[in-house]
Amino acid sequence: MNDLTSRRPVVLLTDDGLLSEFWAFLRERLEQRLSPTCEIRYIDVRESDLAAVDWADIDAVALFGGDLTQDMIAAATRLKVVASETDTCGIEAMDALWDAGIPFVEGTPGWGQSVAECGLSLILCGLRRIPQWHHQVITGFRPWDYPYVQFCDDPRFANGTVAGKTVGIIGVGEIGGRIATWCATLGATVLAYDPFRSPQRFAEVSAEPVDLDRLVRDCEILVVAAPDTPSVTGVVDRDHVFALRQGALVVTITRAAAIDAAALRERVLADELAWAADVYDVEPLPEGDPLIGRHNVVHLPHIAGRTKDANIAVADIVADDILRVLAGEQPQHPLTPQRLHVRLGRTPAARHGKDGTGG
């Protein structure tokens, strides 16, 4: 008889302060989803050592603090699944997990909707200078007299509607893919660069796959929606930034590592490009940074994913897949060797199974 039929499975929920201090909605949702059928054991790794856990009694781990070692995995004879939130490399002992046939579930896609919606709002704010107009109104200016009466945007930069524009997107994952679809729906021509995606993926998000040289040459709006991983760091280099047409709008969402920020700053400060940013090369922006207060820059303080909805979405992905695996089903959001290859730009070990859940 399966031992899970005669006992409540034990889920170890680890925390390094992330859940208790910053992602309270995520923890609350996880406990709400898992507690009806599972026993949840919470551990704050700042106060307790994971090595002291009775690993032989653990069926699943929701890892939001600390790391698992090979010794812990070897001792966890009941362990069926590990889940976390990561857009990079998972845990240090990924090979040990895969060798044991234990899937690693990631909740990272849960941030996608919140971040993508914020990215779309940055496009709209950059085109129409919405924050600048708002600031003028609330600080006492009376900006109802426009130079062109029926035209109130800045003609030096991409402006007006998304419809009719050519939008170039770097990365068509959970975030860039949504932005691509929405821009196409609004009437834009969407070009995209993502060497790790299939032709089917580009078709799904209504984007034309192109090489990077063509993308930066043709786009009026460039959206950088790639995570901070070795495979994408610096992919939009200085030459690409200087190939962007005069007045193009650059939107940075997710992370800024994919673009040469020094080159971008140079062109923005020279009034050659506009920039709408949730993420920067340096965070927080230092006091006195020359970008602050510029007419051609829209600022957000890295808040795109900071929503209750995103917290809940991450928790639901983690909870759903833990419950699936404990019920003998396959997870829907595993970090596989193939996906790790995309992030790190290296080939996964051949000994792992095709789906990353064992051979």
Look at the block and give the residue holding tokens 């299939």. Answer: 198
3-state secondary structure of 193: strand
245 — pLDDT class (breaks 50, 70, 90): very high
pLDDT in tens, 101-133: 999 999 999 999 999 999 999 999 999 999 999
CB atoms within 10 A of CB 71: 12
The residues pairing with 275 across neighbouring beta strands, listed in sequence order, are 250, 297
85 — pLDDT class (breaks 50, 70, 90): confident
301 has a pLDDT exceeding 80: yes
Tell me the average pLDDT across 41-52: 95
- What pLDDT is attached to residue 228? 81
Tokens for 205?
């998000």
236 has a pLDDT exceeding 90: yes
User: In which order are the strands placed within the sheet that holds 39-44?
Assistant: 39-44, 10-15, 60-64, 81-84, 104-106
Cα separation of 359 and 351, whole Å? 7
Tell me the average pLDDT across 181-186: 98
- What pLDDT is attached to residue 353? 33
What pTM, to 2 d.p., does this model score? 0.90
27 — pLDDT class (breaks 50, 70, 90): very high
pLDDT in tens, 275-300: 999 999 999 999 999 999 999 999 99
The residues pairing with 15 across neighbouring beta strands, listed in sequence order, are 44, 64
Tell me the average pLDDT across 8-21: 94
Q: Give the sign of the dihedral formed by CA 127, CA 193, CA 106, CA 182.
A: positive
3-state secondary structure of 197: coil
Domain spans, the chain:
3-107+308-344, 112-299
CA-closest candidate to residue 322, choices 34, 16, 42 = 34
356 — pLDDT class (breaks 50, 70, 90): very low
352 has a pLDDT exceeding 60: no
CB atoms within 10 A of CB 231: 16
Tokens for 130?
């919405």
The proportion of the chain whose per-residue pLDDT surpasses 90, expressed as a percent, equals: 79
Radius of gyration of the CA atoms of the chain, in A: 23
pLDDT in tens, 70-82: 999 999 999 999 9
Q: Give the chain's mean pLDDT.
A: 91
- What pLDDT is attached to residue 90? 67
339 — pLDDT class (breaks 50, 70, 90): confident
178 has a pLDDT exceeding 50: yes
Cα separation of 353 and 359, whole Å? 4
Pairing of strands 274-277, 249-252: parallel
Multiple choice CATH, 112-299, 1.10.357.10, 3.40.190.10, 3.30.465.10, 3.40.50.720: 3.40.50.720
Tokens for 292?
């602050």
- What pLDDT is attached to residue 355? 35
- DSSP class of residue 143 equals T
3-state secondary structure of 82: strand
Pairing of strands 81-84, 104-106: parallel
Tell me the average pLDDT across 24-49: 96
Multiple choice CATH, 3-107+308-344, 3.60.21.10, 3.40.50.300, 3.30.1130.10, 3.40.50.720: 3.40.50.720
Asked if 3-107+308-344 and 112-299 have one fold, the answer is yes
20 CB burial (10 A radius; 0-12, 13-18, 19+): middle
